[in-house]
Amino acid sequence: VQLQESGPGLVRPSGTLSLTCDVSGGSIGISNWWSWIRQSPGKGLEWIGEIHGSGRASYNPSLKSRVTISVDNSKNRFSLELTSVTAADTAVYFCTRNGQVSLDSWGHGILVTVSS
């Protein structure tokens, strides 16, 4: 399976970060869970949340109030929205497939900078 992130590379402070992950080589909705991870110099690797093809989602408590992850089975993609962003949200964002207690497939990542 291949994953590809897309979206704006620059977001204004207090705005909303919106990213999409296109999945190819497999169906998003059959049996897997899918996650968003971010990586920044200050916080390292951080799990943001996950979603199942059914639409069921769970989030990192530290971000839960600002995060929504959704899925579009018809387009074989899932998406991330992060509201009220600050400079601390500047990071490389990865989408992944959840494997057995691990993350077994990763997109290349997309750098998102929060700046005015």
Partner 1 sequence: EVVLTQSPGTLSLSPGERATLSCRASQNVNSNYLAWYQQKPGQAPRLLIYAAFTRAIGIPDRFSGSGSGTDFTLTISRLEPEDFAVYYCQLYDTSPLYTFGQGTKLEIK
Q: Is 108 in the site for partner 1 (CB under 8 A)?
A: yes
Which residues is 54 bridged to in the sheet? none
Q: Is 72 in the site for partner 1 (CB under 8 A)?
A: no
Compare residues 80 and 103 and give the one whose CB is closer to partner 1: 103
Which DSSP symbol is given to 105?
E
Q: Is 26 in the site for partner 1 (CB under 8 A)?
A: no
Q: Which stretch binds partner 1 (CB under 8 A): 15-23, 40-48, 73-81, 83-91?
A: 40-48
Closest to 66 in 3D by CA, of 36, 27, 96, 107: 36
Question: If DSSP codes are grouped into helix, strand and coil, which group holds residue 75?
Answer: helix
Which DSSP symbol is given to 101?
S
Residues that bind partner 1 (CB under 8 A): 35, 37, 44-47, 50, 58, 60-62, 94, 99-104, 106-109
